[in-house]
């Protein structure tokens, strides 16, 4: 289903807001399933999640840390007096995981929108063109940073460094090397883009016209209304009931 990028932005905003504001696991779980269903029906790329499955380990780590440092409820695992795993800590950890999962899943809804459409959507929402353009640049270039970091990591390994064999201290030192080329790459790219924009007379005229105009369809109106109702209902249940 081809939706207006503004409709998608609103859906992502609604789901992410719910993930941040609601505390109850009983509500977070259905919100997560709804996010998954939406992504599935809108043809979102859930394969992205598989690609980033390593993050799951980080989430599990967060759950364990939450359990150790926020001990409450029944103790499930302890070493001497140290409460290693408690029901309260576990619930908090699972909550963090669910929140991150909902935010990531909902963000995949935007993946099939091109940057031009997103800018146009924001402009028609009366967002200044400069700001809209910056948002679209950020969306476009963020994955490139990850790609650059991966390239550097590959280059380090191809210098004959067996990362898995390194002691933890050396491994951390090695990761610090990823920062320099990525940051310098960002600076170089920002300079090139700004030069390129100046050369194309960016902001030379106060008024811009658009060749392409976005038009809300019936499905867009329906989904926007349903998203707003759904968000209001879930927030009401969470805060009042």
Partner 1 sequence: MTQSRSGYKYLQLEDIVYSYPQTGFQLKGINLGFKRGEFTAISGPNGSGKTTLGKIMAGIIKADSGQVMIDGLDTREVSLGRIGKRVGYLFQEPGRQLFTGSVKEELAFTLSFREEEKEEIERLSKKALEDFSLSGLEEEAPFRLSAGEKQRLALAALIINQPDFLILDEPTKGLDPLRKEELTVILKNLQDSGVGMAVISHDNSFIEENADRIILLSRGELIETRSTH
Judge contact between 46 and 27, C-beta under 8 A: no
Smallest separation (angstroms) from partner 1 to the CB of 101: 26
Rounded distance between C-alpha atoms, residue 171 and residue 69, angstroms: 26
Smallest separation (angstroms) from partner 1 to the CB of 162: 3
Q: Is 210 in the site for partner 1 (CB under 8 A)?
A: no
Rounded distance between C-alpha atoms, residue 94 and residue 182, angstroms: 32
Q: Is 46 in the site for partner 1 (CB under 8 A)?
A: no
Q: Judged by CB, which is closer to partner 1: 134, or 163?
A: 163
Q: What separation in angstroms does the CA of 24 have from each of 45, 99, 232, 233, 239?
A: 28, 11, 15, 14, 10
Q: Judged by CB, which is closer to partner 1: 68, or 161?
A: 161
Q: Judged by CB, which is closer to partner 1: 24, or 192?
A: 192
Q: Judged by CB, which is closer to partner 1: 62, or 186?
A: 186
Cβ contacts of 234 within 8 Å, gap of 6 or more: 18, 22, 27, 31
For residue 50, which phi and psi values (nearest 5 degrees)?
Answer: -65, -40
Rounded distance between C-alpha atoms, residue 107 and residue 48, angstroms: 11
Rounded distance between C-alpha atoms, residue 149 and residue 156, angstroms: 11
Sites for partner 1 among residues 104-143 (CB under 8 A): none
Rounded distance between C-alpha atoms, residue 82 and residue 232, angstroms: 42
Smallest separation (angstroms) from partner 1 to the CB of 170: 7
Binding mask 2-41 for partner 1 (x = CB under 8 A): ----------------------------------------
User: Secondary structure of the chain: what % helix, strand, coil (to 5)?
Assistant: 75, 5, 25
Q: Judged by CB, which is closer to partner 1: 24, or 147?
A: 147
Smallest separation (angstroms) from partner 1 to the CB of 174: 8
Smallest separation (angstroms) from partner 1 to the CB of 40: 20
Sites for partner 1 among residues 151-170 (CB under 8 A): 151-152, 154-165, 170
Judge contact between 91 and 73, C-beta under 8 A: yes
Binding mask 176-205 for partner 1 (x = CB under 8 A): -xx-xx--xx--x-----------------
Q: Is 148 in the site for partner 1 (CB under 8 A)?
A: yes
- For the beta carbon of residue 168, count every other beta carbon within 10 angstroms: 7
Q: By the criterion CB under 8 A, which residues form the site for partner 1?
A: 148, 151-152, 154-165, 170, 174, 177-178, 180-181, 184-185, 188
């Amino acid at each position: 289903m081809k939706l207006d990028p503004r409709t998608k932005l609103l859906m992502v905003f609604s789901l992410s807001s719910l993930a941040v504001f609601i505390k109850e696991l009983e509500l977070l779980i259905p919100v997560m399933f709804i996010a998954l269903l939406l992504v599935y029906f809108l043809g979102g790329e859930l394969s992205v999640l598989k690609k980033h499955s390593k993050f799951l380990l980080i989430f599990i780590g967060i759950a364990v840390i939450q359990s150790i440092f926020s001990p409450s409820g029944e103790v499930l695992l302890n070493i001497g007096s140290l409460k290693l795993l408690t029901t309260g800590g576990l619930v908090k950890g699972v909550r963090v995981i669910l929140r991150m999962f909902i935010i990531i899943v909902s963000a995949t809804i935007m993946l099939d929108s091109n940057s031009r459409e997103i800018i146009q959507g924001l402009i028609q929402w009366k967002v200044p063109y400069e700001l809209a353009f910056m948002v679209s640049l950020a969306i476009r270039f963020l994955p490139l940073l990850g790609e650059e970091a991966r390239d550097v990591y590959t280059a380090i390994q191809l210098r004959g460094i067996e990362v898995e064999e390194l002691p933890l201290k050396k491994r951390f030192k090695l990761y610090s090397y990823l920062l320099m080329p990525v940051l310098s790459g960002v600076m170089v790219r920002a300079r090139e883009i700004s030069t390129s924009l100046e050369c194309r007379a960016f902001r030379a005229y106060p008024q811009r016209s658009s060749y392409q105009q976005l038009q809300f369809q019936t499905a867009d109106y329906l989904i926007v209304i349903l998203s707003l109702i759904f968000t209001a209902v879930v927030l009401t249940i969470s805060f009042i009931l």
